[in-house]
Amino acid sequence: MINWSKHLFHSRRGQTTTELVLLFPFFVIFILFIIKIFGLLVLSQKMEIAGYYVGQRFQLQSHETDYYQRTWDRRFLIKDIQQKMENYLGFDNPNMKKFLSLDSVKMDVNRSGTWTQITITARTKAPRIRFLCNYDKDQVCEHDNICLKGYNFLCETGGEISVIKYVGHNDRPAPYERPEGRS
């Protein structure tokens, strides 16, 4: 009597290995995409936190008088805040800078009558995944605008992420006083 289960399993011994070898490059491409998307999500969250830090620090340490706005705020405060923000985002760490594809960051502080608008803009480098960028973009995208935009981000230009925060003036409240006049 022939044992068919033993005969069937032994005749297809290399099939799983062959499928794994053929599918491995697709798994690698998928993992690289997930890592790059995760890096962009991390950068977005870090920029939100940095925007909150910049807004709070500028609100508490900036001045109302024109003289101090032109001197201390512009020369020291804004530069110090920007340096700490860049360090937090990862510009001082080469591995973090590479993981997040960081290229540059810019911080703008615009004062108006009631609110101060703080804009943080980070430019990222193109991830340039080698085996995806070797092909001509016209052949890959066939003039599809969304595909061309994605190809440009991945292979040519990178992107830009902006965070805008509004903070009020640094009006420090008077200490609370009870109606009887005692603190």
Residue 13 pLDDT:
55
For residue 80, which phi and psi values (nearest 5 degrees)?
-70, -40
Which ranges of the chain have pLDDT less than 50? none
Residue 51 pLDDT:
92
Residue 84 pLDDT:
94
Total residues belonging to the chain? 183
Residue 179 pLDDT:
59
Spell 128-153 as b/e; 16+ CB within 10 A means b: eeeeeeeeebeeebeeeeeeeeebeb
Classify residue 73 by burial, with Cβ atoms within 10 Å: 0-12, 13-18, 19+: buried
User: pTM value?
Assistant: 0.71
Q: What's the one-letter identity of residue 172?
A: R
Give the three-state DSSP class for 179: coil
Handedness of CA 54, 55, 61, 62 (dihedral sign): positive
Q: CA nearest 58: which of 77, 45, 42, 39?
A: 77
Q: Give the E-state strand segments of the chain in sequence order.
A: 102-111, 115-124, 159-168
Spell 167-176 as b/e; 16+ CB within 10 A means b: beeeeeeeee
Residue 8 pLDDT:
52
Q: Are 162 and 119 spatial neighbours (Cβ–Cβ below 8 Å)? A: yes
